[in-house]
Structure 1
Amino acid sequence: MSDSARFARHVVLADRAVRLVERAAIVTAAANVTSADGGAAAAAAAAAKKAAVADQTTWNEAVTQDFNIALGLAVALLLLACAPAAASWFANGRYASGWILRRGKGIVTGTANVHDKKRTEKTREKSEKFSTVDIVERPLPLKLAPTSAFFAATRTLCNRTLLVPSPLCGLTWGQVVVCVLYELLFVFVLFYRCIDHRTNWRRSADVGLAQLPAVFILATKNNALSLLGKGYEKLNYLHRLAGRLTILGGLLHTLFFLLVAPLDVTKPVHFSGLICTIVSCLILVTSVSWFRNRFYQIFLVSHVAGWISLVVALNFHVPDLARPYTVFVLVVYGVDLLCRFTKTRFGSASIASLPGGTVMVQSHQLSTGWRAGQHVWLRVPSAAGLHRSWETHPFTIANAPIECSPLDGSHALTLLAKATGDWTRKLESHARTTANPNEARVIKCAIEGPYGGLMYTEYADASAVVLAAGGSGITFCASILEELVHLATQGRTSVRSATLVWTVKDLAQLESYQAFLTGLGEVARDKTCLELRVLLHLTRPPPGSVPNGMLASPVPQSVLSVGRPSLPAVLGVVTDEVLGSVQRRGLPRGAGIVVLACGPKALVDDVRSTVGAVDEGKAVAVGGITCHTESFGW
């Protein structure tokens, strides 16, 4: 190859090399530009994602705060609606009692004689406990004060709609309405500005967490909601609802999170979240009504330990979000524990086994401080063994306090427990293990209370009172009847007639209250203007009894019938009597009828249905019918 050709070839190669370098420079520049644009895009995407998360967090916090504000406003409206009843309650002075159990004058301490509770008609005049007070004259009842037309009409409307039992979870239709409104609020805040929960899986957790204040307030025995005129036991259905919605929110949060991200238990936030989920499931399973009723003590321990564990785990899972709720919960629970300790009295009591499988517990120190119809929680360390010494069980106080009783003798706080469960059976067996069968056994015990009661139900201002009891539900009705007769002896009630309807399985159950009803009947008949009717019904009559027939009653001036009572017939008679009295006096309306019931759920539902079925015109004319019920169980 000549030099000229070689030179030309070098020129061509050099030209190609320059082009390749230029092309590489262009590609490199383009790559640099693309890389810069990609970094900016990634940064912009990250910033947008962060802003979206911040926006979600802001909205989540806002709706949960609004949820609690809405609940607070609802409670405030209810308190405002209850203000007139609360004002009347404070004006008549009934607020002064029913808070702290105290020792009163005239209490008899020491060992009680069992036979004092089993006096018959032939020996009742010798009874020391139920001897009557000598009163010179019969004071006239207070003048009837007709209720307002608005109150009578409103009360009648509520009885015919909200008070009627529903087929849903043993609730009334009024309770169903409250539950539905609560659930609708929950669903609203769950989906407000949050349709896709896979991208905002925190919303369900935040809404569930927002239920904690309601859960713990409704779980405590001492809280401001008692100003609504309802004890903690009356609001327990809302506690169960709020608790289940809390767990539902947490489980939905877990589900939506696992749909978009894998679980990594090595991360503390994931591990604590897993603990929350497991604890929530355990709480939910052990809270089922079947398990709760059958294994109550296991439920109680797992329930308290479970909720405490859940709150602790939440503080590891989302500390910033959970901390305010934790502080609130600790304050509410701490105040309740302090109040419960303040209301607990330690001392001795006598226990005795009575006919019909009933156990009587009579305090040696306490005789005042409660209102008729209230209940206490009893702890007897020696009853069921050391491993169950911590257990407490609720019992209605079976007698009125000393200052509200027309009877002489011991007015010690008395509880009557039917030996139906494991704990009460052991208590009854413990009562029978005495050296002298005629003497009661002395035990150490703790009594916490009182709680519940009628609160704003002013039965002493009515025209008539009807009390329906089933089995051991007589404890609730008897204490109220005792106080009512006492008020009648002093002319401090407008009630003209009181009707007690008590349904028992066998005659043995009547013996525990035979002397009491006998003595109370004598006072009402001889010392007051109150017409007292005692209707006893026997569901397991002795052989040879005529169905729906009559038997000789062990209680004087009472009627003993075979079979269950016809509550519509009883209430119909009382309604007609009050209506006739109103017409004779020329009053626009009566002072109302108060119906009080305590017993099994079937009895309570029957009473509610009966009250709701009263003719609307008659119900308004008598001044409205007020119904208050207490049922067994939770």
Structure 2
Amino acid sequence: MSCRCRGIMWYFGLLAQVAFSQHQAPDPSEKPENAEASAPLRIAKMLEGQAIVNRWLASLNYHVLGLCVILCLIIGVILMIRRGARAFHFGWFLYGKPPRGQVFQPAHVSQHPKSWQAELGAVRQIYGFTFLQNVPLISNFTFGQLTLSSFFVGLVVILAVLSNPAPTQNPRRFGYLAAANIPFLVLFSMKNSPLALLGKGYEKLNFIHRFIGFVVIACSLIHGGLMTSFMSQGKISNTRAFYSGCFMGFMLLLVGITAIPAIRRRIYKIFYLVHVLGYLSLFAGGIYHEKALRPYMISAISLHLLSSGWQVLKWKMYTATLTPLPGKITRVEINGIKTGWKAGHHVRLRVLGSFWQGLQAHPFTIASAPSRSGSETNSLILYVKAVGSFTTMLYAKAVTVDGFSDIRPVSQSRFSNGSQKLVQLPSDICSSITNSENKSSSVGSIGTLQNSDKNHHGTISRMATLDIGLPDGVEVNVHVEGPYGGIGWHGLDEFRDVIICAGGSGISFLVAVVSELVSLAKVGGITKRALVIFTVRDWEVAKYFGNILARDIEESSTYGLSLDVRFFVTVKVETPIPLGDIKIRWQRPSLDILVKEFLMDVVGGQGVGLGACGPPGLMAQVRSSVAMIDLKTAKRVGGINMHFEELGW
């Protein structure tokens, strides 16, 4: 392996030496005898140097792509062998039948010497303090991401001026730089990338895709601006390349504008459509623009087809049951999926209905543990909060079937027990359900939707009559694609002491991890202590999930797993009810204090696992709390292995 790496580095060095030796920058002290005669010579040398650097860029492109795949395969195989072949069963495909026998055994962890573990803990702490904290005034961006992005920009700048004494007189260089980055742009956008073998899901690498995209746009605009100037001066005669380049530049600029986070969140459907059209325009325009760009375009198209083909293998149609919950949350249960995922994985969900609904996939974290054997019948469960157009539509489907022809009742005797309840729908949900009063025939099988009198605020509210005797909800056909993401090769089940923190919709991650730890405790899992922190605004939401976790707390004590569950509800109610052993606080959590108190009781020095999921503000607070831990404590506990699932990526 070391000989191969040295050979590759020697080859890269040879390429650079050839690029430099065959085209040196002209010496300004040397004055040619005839300036006019030397002009064609300078142009010829510049073109020769450009050709050399272009070949170097193409070779570097192919070798780096190949090197990435080879390294991922080697590391992935080593990690799979280390964890055992049975762990390979989870995280690749979803299965409709539970496995025969127990394939989901506790993780095998090789115990390092205590001195090594202490030094490893110090390294982890220094790394977390240096790279994992959020950059001030820049949301969703850590110092590690900033460092990597700065290094990449520096590399692009070096390549832009390498053997190029007059960059403004050589606009083709920027065009080739943009083209050379397109395969990497596609690589880091792939849902099924070979980089996933490193234990990182595509959502963790998506920031690189976005950054490379803006670099491609910047290089393309510089190239296009300089070429437009040359075109106006009559220096360019290839009008086909000029106009195809203008078209690609316009599409790239449109993609870049709609990809700005503030704009993307407001007009996501337009962003999605522009993104698809931009990809197609870039591939077709690049092949048509210039023959030298075809290898780059073919590489990018091949990667995209590889990812799309793997997505098709993961794409299946199921019947999902939708149930409305407090806090505008929809419970989505897919009985046809029993195993194939682990805690922290997510799936991409499509709801069949209109053409646009079937085209668009949305990621949701799985909130249940998989079935370990044929005796278990766990189903795949999602909790979806109504915050956008798609999730609002899903919640509307759960509370009424009016206007949705693809939904049918679960039971024909739904109202047999006469148990009904009036549920007030939020105004944003009501706005998505129009003219429902005129379609009572389609609503009658599930309930009725009616206008009520004006309330004391003078606004019109709508009431939906729902059956609470049968909690099965309604069924809808969905396409499920996955699983994706995950905690990585070092899961939380590999640590004796674990901290789980979640906020808002991150409860799906929390419930899945707790359920998996309890499931593993039954067969001798490693984890013995877990601090569970959940912060939420709505007391009704806390009460619902508190009842779910209460069963896990009761069951875990039987198998030697101590769960310390703490709920932090930010909006206090007058008459709250107790939730068993769950500690309730009516305030925001002080994470730094909670983490330090938990670490005081850690023994063994084999490391602590931390998993967090929630909005960016909560994730920044968790990173800051861990970064403030002193090196002495980090060495004593063996370091903190962190995993973050940020909402809204």
Shorter-chain-normalised TM-score: which range? Answer: 0.7 to 0.9
Task: State the match for 1:178 in structure 2.
Answer: 148
**Counterpart residue type for residue 522 of structure 1:** E
Query: Do structure 1's residue 419 and structure 2's residue 389 form an aligned pair?
Result: no
Task: State the match for 2:508 in structure 1.
Answer: 475
Distance in structure 1 (CA, Å) of the matches to 2:81 and 2:627: 25
Task: State the match for 2:54 in structure 1.
Answer: 61
Question: Cα–Cα, structure 1 residues 539 and 266, in superposed 2: closer, same or farther, change >3 Å?
Answer: same
Task: State the match for 1:4 in structure 2.
Answer: none
* Aligned positions of 1:579-618 closer than 5 A: 581-582=603-604, 590-618=605-633
Deviates more, 1:420-429 or 1:232-241: 420-429
Among 553, 558, 578, the residue aligned to 1:521: 553
Residue by residue, what CA displacement relative to the aligned partner does 1:30-83 show, whole Å, maximum 9, x if unpaired? Answer: xxxxxxxxxxx9997797367335414313314423653685598589859967
Among 118, 133, 158, the residue aligned to 1:188: 158
Query: Do structure 1's residue 246 and structure 2's residue 216 form an aligned pair?
Result: yes
Secondary structure at the aligned position of 2:153 is classed as helix
Distance in structure 2 (CA, Å) of the matches to 1:73 and 1:99: 23
* Aligned positions of 1:620-631 closer than 5 A: 620-631=635-646
Distance in structure 2 (CA, Å) of the matches to 1:566 and 1:416: 26
Give the deviation of 1:220 after TM superposition. Answer: 0.8
* Aligned positions of 1:115-264 closer than 5 A: 146=114, 148-167=117-136, 168-262=138-232
Secondary structure at the aligned position of 1:415 is classed as strand
Question: Cα–Cα, structure 1 residues 515 and 410, in superposed 2: closer, same or farther, change >3 Å?
Answer: farther
Secondary structure at the aligned position of 1:251 is classed as helix
**Is residue 85–residue 456 contact of structure 1 (8 Å, CA) maintained in 2?**
no
> What percent of counterpart residues are identical?
28
Distance in structure 2 (CA, Å) of the matches to 1:336 and 1:505: 39
* Aligned positions of 1:270-309 closer than 5 A: 270-309=242-281
Distance in structure 1 (CA, Å) of the matches to 2:71 and 2:120: 16
**Is residue 106–residue 411 contact of structure 1 (8 Å, CA) maintained in 2?**
no
Question: Cα–Cα, structure 1 residues 79 and 379, in superposed 2: closer, same or farther, change >3 Å?
Answer: closer
Among 358, 361, 372, the residue aligned to 1:392: 361
Query: Do structure 1's residue 558 and structure 2's residue 582 form an aligned pair?
Result: yes
Bigger relative contact order (CA 8 A; separation at least 6): 1
Query: Do structure 1's residue 535 and structure 2's residue 578 form an aligned pair?
Result: no
Residue by residue, what CA displacement relative to the aligned partner does 1:451-482 show, whole Å, maximum 9, x if unpaired? Answer: 00011223222231000010110111211111
Secondary structure at the aligned position of 2:228 is classed as helix
Distance in structure 1 (CA, Å) of the matches to 2:69 and 2:376: 46
* Aligned positions of 1:20-169 closer than 5 A: 48=41, 51-52=44-45, 54-65=47-58, 68=61, 71=64, 75=68, 86=79, 90-91=83-84, 93-105=86-98, 146=114, 148-167=117-136, 168-169=138-139
Secondary structure at the aligned position of 1:244 is classed as helix
Question: Cα–Cα, structure 1 residues 508 and 191, in superposed 2: closer, same or farther, change >3 Å?
Answer: same
Question: Cα–Cα, structure 1 residues 157 and 55, in superposed 2: closer, same or farther, change >3 Å?
Answer: same
TM norm structure 2: 0.77
Question: Cα–Cα, structure 1 residues 142 and 49, in superposed 2: closer, same or farther, change >3 Å?
Answer: closer
**Counterpart residue type for residue 616 of structure 1:** L
Paired residues, number? 539
Give the deviation of 1:269 after TM superposition. Answer: 1.8
**Counterpart residue type for residue 390 of structure 1:** L
Distance in structure 1 (CA, Å) of the matches to 2:274 and 2:631: 48
Question: Cα–Cα, structure 1 residues 89 and 388, in superposed 2: closer, same or farther, change >3 Å?
Answer: same
Query: Do structure 1's residue 454 and structure 2's residue 479 form an aligned pair?
Result: no
Distance in structure 1 (CA, Å) of the matches to 2:73 and 2:92: 23
Secondary structure at the aligned position of 1:365 is classed as coil
Task: State the match for 1:500 in structure 2.
Answer: 532
Task: State the match for 2:300 in structure 1.
Answer: 329
Residue by residue, what CA displacement relative to the aligned partner does 1:562-608 show, whole Å, maximum 9, x if unpaired? Answer: 01111111111111000xx34xxxxxxx1111111000000111111
Secondary structure at the aligned position of 1:362 is classed as strand
Stretches of structure 1 lacking an aligned partner (at least 5 in a row): 1-40, 108-138, 546-550, 583-589
Distance in structure 2 (CA, Å) of the matches to 1:394 and 1:210: 30
Question: Cα–Cα, structure 1 residues 75 and 166, in superposed 2: closer, same or farther, change >3 Å?
Answer: farther
Distance in structure 1 (CA, Å) of the matches to 2:491 and 2:156: 36
**Is residue 550–residue 582 contact of structure 2 (8 Å, CA) maintained in 1?**
no
Query: Do structure 1's residue 351 and structure 2's residue 322 form an aligned pair?
Result: yes
Secondary structure at the aligned position of 2:224 is classed as helix
**Counterpart residue type for residue 499 of structure 1:** L
Distance in structure 2 (CA, Å) of the matches to 1:83 and 1:351: 37
Question: Cα–Cα, structure 1 residues 409 and 478, in superposed 2: closer, same or farther, change >3 Å?
Answer: same
**Counterpart residue type for residue 61 of structure 2:** N
Give the deviation of 1:491 after TM superposition. Answer: 1.0
Distance in structure 2 (CA, Å) of the matches to 1:159 and 1:253: 39
**Is residue 345–residue 484 contact of structure 2 (8 Å, CA) maintained in 1?**
yes
Distance in structure 2 (CA, Å) of the matches to 1:354 and 1:479: 18
What is the root-mean-square deviation of aligned Cα atoms in Å?
Answer: 3.0
Distance in structure 2 (CA, Å) of the matches to 1:265 and 1:171: 45
Give the deviation of 1:620 after TM superposition. Answer: 1.1
Secondary structure at the aligned position of 1:398 is classed as coil
Residue by residue, what CA displacement relative to the aligned partner does 1:407-442 show, whole Å, maximum 9, x if unpaired? Answer: x97511111100111111111111111534234101
Secondary structure at the aligned position of 2:192 is classed as coil
**Counterpart residue type for residue 373 of structure 1:** G
**Counterpart residue type for residue 273 of structure 1:** G
TM norm structure 1: 0.79
Question: Cα–Cα, structure 1 residues 347 and 552, in superposed 2: closer, same or farther, change >3 Å?
Answer: closer
Question: Cα–Cα, structure 1 residues 228 and 105, in superposed 2: closer, same or farther, change >3 Å?
Answer: closer
